[in-house]
Amino acid sequence: MNRPLNIIFMGTPDFSVPALKALAQNGYNISLVITQPDRPKGRGKKMMPPPVKQSAIELGLQVFQPENMKGFEIRDKLEALKPDFFVVVAFGHKLSRELLDIPAIYPINIHASLLPAYRGSSPIQSAIMNMDKISGVTTMVMDTELDTGDILLKATTFLSDDETAQTLHDRLSLMGGELIIETLEAVVNNKITPTPQDNSIATYSRMLKKNDGKIDWCKEPEHISAQVRAMTPWPGAFTFINGRRIKVMAVRPMGIKTQLPSGTVFSCDCNEIRVSAGNSSIAILQLQGESGKCLCSEDFLRGNRLDTGECFL
């Protein structure tokens, strides 16, 4: 193909930005960037543009922000641009078959898992919650069902023992930017054949809710640690003590066994709060109280009385 590839990009959050920048930096013609409308954020509910819009404006690209992807006007607008590809990353809108048929070559999605594992909206958190050793990103040809399209390429990464949703998000986001360039080059040069997913081994990751962060101290320490890391930064792991909501930011599983009920504080020494959990115990290293500041346990205890024998619920 002698002319520059014409791409319509669709994405919304921070995760989408590296892919958009990679396309621009590698000389692809991005004829349109589609993202969600500006939304009110913060205590003042000030209207804020999505990260993709901010990046697109910095790159000098045309931005389109529809409330949804339905209607003849949307279809006609996209058809008129005659795209070779759609590149879709965490867009947040479903595309109909009518729209998916518009690109001359493929509509391609970048998904933050090694498909068919963790189809759905929270693949990063699911990988950490399940204590997986490997994660990655996948490029696929989009279809109308959720993350079921034929696979183009994958890239993998190992998860560290202290991996959080934030650190994995940031790494997979950059990997997605690299992988989309590799994918487009492979497709154009006929070096890749889309491979159907094995639906029999597919797993799903549902949309997270705020209450998914509530800690169950009856679980084993390793599982609580995974939950805390998976819920960082959102929705955040939390617990209650004496009617107060406490956000738990970092923990460390311990090998100390106790006969105390799960959730019971049995030590506030050594710059950590030690709590019985499951059949063993866990140390809380960082937490956030009503002040709204993330504090190490030692600093937290200076301003918040916590006695041994008290119980997190």
Which tokens go with 216?
A: 């169950």
What pLDDT sits at residue 271? 82
DSSP strand pairing (119-120 vs 85-89):
unpaired
Could you read off the pLDDT of 92-149 as tens digits, one per residue? 999 999 999 999 999 999 999 999 999 999 999 999 999 999 999 999 999 999 999 9
Query: Which is it for the CA torsion 137, 89, 175, 27, positive or negative?
Result: positive
Length of the chain: 313
Which of 1-15, 100-114, 164-178, 208-222 bottoms out in mean pLDDT, i.e. has the lowest? 1-15
CA atoms within 13 A on the CB side of 184: 26
Find, among 178, 231, 171, 203, the residue nearest to 15 by Cα.
171
CA atoms within 13 A on the CB side of 41: 8
Top-level CATH class of 6-205?
Answer: alpha beta
Chain mean position to CA 40 = 21
Chain mean position to CA 170 = 9
Fill in the amino acid letter for 67: E
What pLDDT sits at residue 1? 55
DSSP strand pairing (244-254 vs 237-241):
antiparallel
First to last CA, the chain: 62
What's the CA angle centered on 174, arms 168 and 179, to 5 degrees?
A: 115
- Domain positions in the chain are 6-205, 211-303
Q: Which fold has domain 211-303?
A: Methionyl-tRNA Fmet Formyltransferase; Chain A, domain 2 (3.10.25)
CB 151 within 8 A of CB 142: no
What are the contacts of 75-80 at 24+ separation with CB within 8 A? 75/99, 75/102, 77/32, 78/8, 78/32, 78/102
Percentages of the chain per state (helix, strand, coil), in multiples of 5: 30, 30, 45
CB 125 within 8 A of CB 231: yes
Helices (H), the chain: 17-25, 51-58, 72-80, 97-100, 123-129, 165-188, 221-230, 297-303
Predicted confidence band of residue 2 (pLDDT cuts 50, 70, 90): low
Q: Has residue 291 got a pLDDT over 60? A: yes
CB 192 within 8 A of CB 186: yes
Find, among 206, 123, 155, the residue nearest to 19 by Cα.
155
What pLDDT sits at residue 304? 87
Could you read off the pLDDT of 38-81 as tens digits, one per residue? 999 877 889 999 999 999 999 999 999 999 999 999 999 999 99
